[in-house]
A and B are shown apart, each in its own frame.
Chain A
Amino acid sequence: MTRRDLLLSAVAAAPAGPGFQLADVTGPAGLAFRHNTGAFGAKYLPETMGPGCAFLDYDNDGWLDILLVNGQDWPGHQRQRSTPRLYRNNRNGTFSDVTKAAGLDVEMYGLGVAVADFDNDGFPDLYITCVGQNRLFRNNGKGAFIDVTAAAGLGNRQSFSTSAMWVDIDRDGHLDLFVCNYVRWAAAQDVFCSLDGKAKSYCTPEAFRGTTCWLFRNRGNGTFEDITARSGLFDASSKSLGVTMLDFDQDGWPDLFVANDTQPNKLYRSNHDGTFRESAVRSGVAFGDDGRARAGMGVDAGDFRRTGRESIAVTNFDNEMMGLFEPGENGFADRAAASGVGAPTRTRLGFGCLFLDADLDGHLDLLAVNGHIDDTVRNLNKGIVHAQSPNLFLNNGAGQFRDVASEAGREFFAPKVGRGLALGDFDRDGDLDVLITTNGGPAYLFRNDVNNGNQSIRFRLEGRKSNRDGIGAVIRLFGPGGPQMRMIRGGSSYLSSSSLAATFGVGKLTVAERVVVYWPSGRVDEFKNLPTARTYHCVEGEAPRALPYR
């Protein structure tokens, strides 16, 4: 080999860019989807909000399928039929539209989706939030969903619901349901808003009254009861768009963070008895650094500093920058600007956001999708545009982020009117792929191709005494560089639901020395010396079963 060949081969072997590439495989995968906002000129507020998306394994075959929520035409202005779309993974990089066969060929003005096995039968169920009546679809285990909204006691509720999340608030093994409601809006009571004083524009939430979020307790018999008021969560002033769960006081009970639009965020601390005490102001997460309530959209929590305590990321309106609340001795402090997340998000209107270890180096990165609500914004606000590029903040291991979105893939970086964001490993290669929905546009599937040689280890939990999905469980992985942690969440981001498996990047490690699973039931399972580059199916109280990625 000549010196020239050696140099060329070295250059070719060097990983390009940030250590991974997000390849747009939407077309090859067969995701022929276009979001229907129903817009016909009246500029109704809900048109700007959706849609959400989800990675789920609805047929339990071990390969992640995709659900894309859709809107519909407004009454009196029907031009097309539009429904949510369910795409089954063909295990070869392509998907098949199985919406009809799955019983989801149902028209609704859908916005978001929360996926979890609420009846503990081993198959993921769906809760789709809507403008109007939200829907609960139970998975019958035979490839189809049955609308059990009314039977579950969730019917007769008209609302403008956004994100929803499954969470076992009382740790009784049955998943309860938290639903964000935005504002009190109906087409018949729509108000005229205008940016130029002439043409109607989309209203901001200040034009509408807030409305309370809902908390439904799962009775364990397929029905739910509304415990919103009893739990202390009732708050008619809220205008909620995003929700996540975390255990910020580390007492083993799930606490809730709710992102509100133009209203203070809420942090509900569990009282361990199914009730909550709101402490956002006291904890420093209610407002931005300037003391104003910001326009909170999507939210997620993650231990990106590897301290064992999770921080909270909240996407906001343009000119507000993203919030990155880090825990300290006296509550949280917004360190978005100091950590490098602030400036790149100042001109972005963010929606879906999630922590993920994109390059599998063992440090959580942060992904946010962006897009303005007003398609005329360019004419009015210099520097702010309708379609916006996403932000992908790579963690340098010291809690400092660098936006590498432009290096992660041309199509990925291309401006979009982003809304929903979900993560899951649809090709089972060990890294997390990215699903993005856009308002009034297509959905995008980006395959993550890690090219730096890093490995991962993944855990799929199955509760016995705990809820079957293990939602609320905390997994801690101990190894060089400090512990890593993941909480299994039945929600987060914006309107979307990600795979429930926990993926840890481990760099070049071939063995995970020690892994501890803290189940919501209180049980603790500990495993040692697990070879990496595998998925472990962990049944509560049993030894883990290793499965190869492919």
Chain B
Amino acid sequence: MAVLVHGRLSSPTGRLLAGVLFTLLVIGAYAGYTLQSVRRMRQVQTDIIDQNRKASLQLIRIQSDLNALALAMRDMLDNLDGYPLSAWAGQLDRIRDNLDDAIRRESELAGSRRDPQQTTYLLSSFSQFWSAVEHMNKLAQRGEEKAARDLVRQSLLPRQESLSALTARLLVMNNESEERAAAEIREIYNGIENNAYLFLVLSLASVVGVGFAIIRSNRALFDRVSELSDQRRELAQELISTQESTFRAVSRDLHDEFGQILTAVGAMLKRAGRLAPSDFQEQVREANEVVQESLEKIRGLSQSLQPVILDEQGLAAAVQWYVSVFERQTGITIDYQPPAVDTPEMATSAAIHVFRILQEALNNIARHARVTQARVRLTITPETLRLEVVDAGGGIPLSYKAGIGLAGMRERAALIGGSLEIGNVNPNGTRVVLTAPIPETSGGQENG
């Protein structure tokens, strides 16, 4: 028997772990990059866009206040209410409070992004404007209405227009800065998008690599398992063949050697009996009975080890014979249904396995089933053989672990290319069914 000896199969765990690690590294790298991009984007958004937007809102507030100033000064010049110019002091103060607040907030928001000269110019322009307003207020309080109005017309209104223009310029600058920041954010988005594609490709490659490694490893494992299974089967078959040849040799020896000897001894004892004195004849006859009994047992043992009936009369007769022997030995009644007449015969080399399976199945019934009856049905068609052994015992418990007997039955079934089904039947009992093909070359008997 040639047994293939393979080296130890290397474990795929290391390669799989490496694949998973690589995938994690790809994900980690991408997450890190994305987080960094988002942080940068947030910084751009917070530092530039949000600040710009808030600064723009304050600039709009300044513009609105400047417009309110313009309207108030127009009202002062029109004097439709008939109030002295000093009445506007409160209204102008309120606008100034609001403007001061807006300018302070806007300067804080603009921060270092603005040219300091611009900030200085803005603040000094407002300062000059309010100095002029204070001067106008003093004139108004002194009742110098005309001089105050002239100051509004000739100085305050032009200054207000100049401040409005300056505010508008700052708004435009803010807008441009915002557009630049938006462009930067667009670039960051593009970077993230490109990296998303790269991440996708790497992830796919990693998944494909790991998947391929798993498939390859699985295939190797299956091949190895299949090979081991084949080796085990070969070993089992060798074992069974050896067992059968041993049985045959022992059976032949028992039959041929000890049978001949005991037959000769019997003949001799018969003769001795006839010649022996009458008071000794009884003892000779008893000895001859012991010899005949031993001869019968040896013949029975020989038949069990290698049923000659199988070689001489075929499987159906062997089964019939064994069933009757089993009934006699165990007291269990077997309802045997033989195959139809004129059924083809199996080669003895195959039939011995069927016979052994029957033996094992019936022995199992005797050992475990605790029944008084069982059923055996042998069906043979030109293509298949079917042997069914059924009892009404306790069945196979769930906790039952298959032993060497069942394994041997399966191996024998496999040896003749058949299959063996063992299972419980309703409501109780066990059914053993062997199904095997009948080779086209079968039909003759084979002497062994």
Taking a contact as CB atoms under 8 Å apart, the answer to whether A209 and B71 are in contact is yes
Residues B75 and A234 in contact, CB atoms below 8 Å apart: no
Q: Which residue of B lies closest to A157 (CB)?
A: B82
Q: Write the nearest CB–CB distance from A224 to chain B, whole angstroms.
A: 16
Give the distance in Å from the alpha carbon of A281 to the alpha carbon of B105 in the complex: 15
Q: Report Cα–Cα, A237/B68, bound state, in Å.
A: 8
- Assess the A236–B72 pair: CB atoms within 8 A: yes
> Does any Cβ of B come within 8 Å of A206's Cβ?
no
Contacting pair B83 A229 (CB below 8 A): yes
Q: Which residues 195-220 of A sit at the B interface, judged by CB distance below 8 A? A: 209, 211-212
With a cutoff of 8 Å between Cβ atoms, the chain A residues found around residue B83 in the complex are: 212, 228-229, 234
* Chain B, range 84-103, C-beta contacts under 8 Å to A: 84, 86-88, 90-91, 94, 98
CB nearest to A276 among chain B residues:
B90
User: How many Å lie between the Cα of A232 and that of B89 in the bound state?
Assistant: 8
One digit per residue, 1 when the CB lies within 8 angstroms of any chain B CB and 0 when it does not, for chain A 171-209 equals: 000000000000010000000000000000000000001
Q: With A and B bound together, what is the CA distance between A184 and B75 in angstroms? A: 11
Count of B residues near A, CB < 8 Å? Answer: 15
Instruction: Give the residues in chain B near A235, CB-CB below 8 Å.
Output: 90-91, 94
User: Roughly how many angstroms separate A184 CA and B87 CA in the complex, as a whole number?
Assistant: 18
Question: Which residue of chain B is the closest to A232 with respect to CB atoms?
Answer: B90
Task: With A235-B94, A236-B81, A281-B98 as known contacts, state yes or no: A209 contacts B87, CB within 8 Å.
Answer: no
B75: chain A residues within 8 A (beta carbon): 209, 236
- Which of these, B68, B72, B81, B86, contacts A211 with CB under 8 Å? B81
Give 1 or 0 for each of A270-295: 1 = CB within 8 Å of chain B CB: 00000000100100000000000000
Which residue among A184, A234, A236, A281 has the maximum number of chain B CB atoms within 10 Å of its CB?
Answer: A236
Question: Which A residues, 230 to 256, have Cβ-Cβ distances below 8 Å to chain B?
Answer: 232-237
Check if B80 is an interface residue, CB within 8 A of chain A: yes
Chain B contacts of A209 at CB under 8 A? 71, 75
Does A236 lie within 8 Å of B91, measured CB to CB? yes
A211–B78 CA distance with the chains assembled, in angstroms:
12
Q: CA–CA, A161 to B83, complex, Å?
A: 17
Q: Which residues on the B side are within 8 Å of A211 (C-beta)?
A: 81
Query: Which residue of the partner chain, among A184, A233, A236, A281, contacts B88 with CB atoms under 8 Å?
Result: A236
B81 touches which one: A212, A232, A278, A281 (CB < 8 A)? A212
The residue among B68, B71, B83, B91 with the most chain A CB atoms within 10 A of its own CB is B91
Please state if A229 and B94 are interface contacts (CB–CB under 8 Å). Answer: no
| Closest B residue, CB atoms, query A263 | B68
> When the two chains form the complex, which single residue of A184, A234, A281 contacts B91, counting CB atoms closer than 8 Å?
A234
- Verify A234–B94 contact, CB threshold 8 A: no
| B-side contacts of A228, CB under 8 Å | 83, 87
A275 nearest in chain B by CB position = B90
Residues of A close to B91: CB separation below 8 A:
234-237
Contact of A234 among B71, B80, B90, B98 (CB under 8 A): B90
User: Residue of A at shortest CB range from B68?
Assistant: A237
Which residues of A (48-81) have their CB < 8 Å from a CB of B? none
Tell me how far the C-beta of B90 lies from the nearest C-beta in chain A, rounded to whole angstroms: 4
B149 CB, min distance to chain A CBs, angstroms: 15
B71 cross-chain contacts in A, Cβ below 8 A: 209, 236-237
Residue of A233, A235, A281 with highest tally of chain B CB at under 10 A:
A235
Residues of B within 8 A of A236 (CB): 71-72, 75, 81, 88, 91
Instruction: Produce 1/0 per residue, A397-408, CB < 8 A to B.
Output: 000000000000
* Chain A residues within 8 Å of B81, by CB: 211-212, 236
Whether B86 and A229, one on each chain, are in contact in the complex, defined by CB atoms closer than 8 angstroms, is yes
| B68/A234 in contact, CB under 8 A | no
Q: Contacts of B86 on A, CB cut-off 8 Å?
A: 229
Closest to A281 in B: B98
Find out whether the CB atom of B87 lies under 8 angstroms from the CB atom of A278.
Answer: no
A229 contacts which chain B residues (CB < 8 A)?
Answer: 83-84, 86-87, 90
**Residues from chain A with Cβ under 8 Å of B98 in the complex:** 281
- How many whole Å from A238's CB to the nearest CB in chain B? 9
Task: Check if B72 sits within 8 Å of A278, measured CB to CB.
Answer: no
| CB-defined contacts of B88 to chain A, threshold 8 Å | 234, 236
Q: Which residue of A lies closest to B95 (CB)?
A: A237
Q: In the complex, what residue of chain B is closest to A210 when comparing beta carbons?
A: B71
Question: Chain A residues near B84 (CB, 8 Å)?
Answer: 229
CA gap between A209 and B68 in the complex, in Å: 11
B80 and A184 within 8 A (CB):
yes
| CB proximity to A under 8 Å, residues B124-160 | none
Q: Mark B164-188, 1 if CB is under 8 A from A, else 0.
A: 0000000000000000000000000
A278 touches B80 (CB 8 A): no
How far apart are B211's CB and chain A's nearest CB, in angstroms? Answer: 55
Chain B's closest residue to A230 (CB) is: B87
What CA separation (Å) do A237 and B71 show in the bound complex?
Answer: 8
User: A237–B87 contact, CB under 8 A?
Assistant: no
Q: Which B396-426 residues have a C-beta within 8 angstroms of A?
A: none
Residues on the B chain within 8 Å of A281, using CB: 98
Q: A234 to chain B: which residues have CB within 8 Å?
A: 83, 87-88, 90-91
B420 to chain A, nearest CB (A): 80
Q: Tell me the residues in window 319-353 of chain B with beta carbons closer than 8 Å to chain A beta carbons.
A: none
Query: Smallest distance from the beta carbon of B55 to chain A beta carbons, Å?
Result: 15
- B94 contacts across to A, CB distance below 8 A: 235, 278
CA distance A538 to B163 in the complex (A): 59
| Cβ contact within 8 Å between A278 and B90 | yes
Contacts of B72 in A (CB 8 A): 236-237
In the bound assembly, the distance between CA atoms of A236 and B72 in angstroms comes to 7
Return the chain B residue nearest A156 by Cβ.
Answer: B82
A233, B81: Cα distance in complex, Å: 14
Closest to B75 in A: A236
CB-contacts of B62-83 with A (<8 A): 68, 71-72, 75, 80-81, 83
**B85 nearest CB neighbor, chain A only:** A229
Contacts of A278 in B (CB 8 A): 90, 94
Q: Which of A228, A229, A232, A281: most chain B Cβ within 10 A?
A: A229
Of B72, B75, B86, B98, the most chain A CB neighbours within 10 A belong to B75
Tell me which residues across on chain B come within 8 A of A184, comparing CB atoms.
Answer: 80
Q: Which residue on chain B has the smallest CB distance to residue A231?
A: B90
What residues of B have a CB within 8 angstroms of the CB of A233 in the complex? 90
A183 to B86 Cα, complex, angstroms? 21
What is the 8 Å Cβ interface bit string for chain B, positions 418-440, against chain A (1 contact, 0 not)? Answer: 00000000000000000000000
Most chain A CB inside 10 Å of its own CB: which residue of B71, B87, B98? B87
Q: Please, how many angstroms separate the alpha-carbon atoms of A228 and B75 in the complex?
A: 16
Residues from chain B with Cβ under 8 Å of A237 in the complex: 68, 71-72, 91
Give A209 to B78 CA distance when docked, in angstroms.
12
Q: A278 to B80, alpha carbons, bound, how many Å?
A: 23
Name the residue on A nearest B82 (C-beta).
A157
A212–B90 Cα distance when bound, in Å, is 12
Cβ-closest chain B residue relative to A291: B57
> Once bound together, how far apart are the Cα atoms of A25 and B81, in whole Å?
44
Residue ID in chain B nearest A226 by CB atoms: B83
CA distance A281 to B64 in the complex (A): 15
A281 to B75, CA, bound (A): 23
The distance from the CB of A232 to the nearest CB of chain B, in whole angstroms, is 4
The complex places the Cα of A63 from the Cα of B98 at a distance, in Å, of 49
Task: Specify the chain B residue showing the minimal Cβ separation from A286.
Answer: B98
**Closest chain A CB from B52 CB (angstroms):** 18
Distance A88 CA – B418 CA, assembled complex (angstroms): 119
Closest CB in chain A relative to B222 CB, distance in Å: 68
Please indicate the chain A residues that have their CB under 8 angstroms from the CB of B87 in the complex.
212, 228-229, 234
| Known pairs A236-B75, A236-B81, A237-B72 / 19 extra A-B pairs, C-beta < 8 Å | A184-B80, A209-B71, A211-B81, A212-B81, A212-B83, A212-B87, A228-B83, A229-B83, A229-B87, A233-B90, A234-B87, A234-B88, A234-B90, A236-B71, A236-B72, A237-B68, A278-B90, A278-B94, A281-B98
Q: Which 3 residue pairs are nearest across A and B when measured between Cβ atoms?
A: A229-B87, A234-B87, A236-B75
* A–B Cβ pairs within 8 angstroms, 25 of them: A184-B80, A209-B71, A211-B81, A212-B81, A212-B87, A228-B87, A229-B83, A229-B86, A229-B87, A229-B90, A232-B90, A233-B90, A234-B87, A234-B90, A234-B91, A235-B90, A236-B71, A236-B72, A236-B81, A236-B91, A237-B68, A237-B72, A237-B91, A278-B90, A278-B94
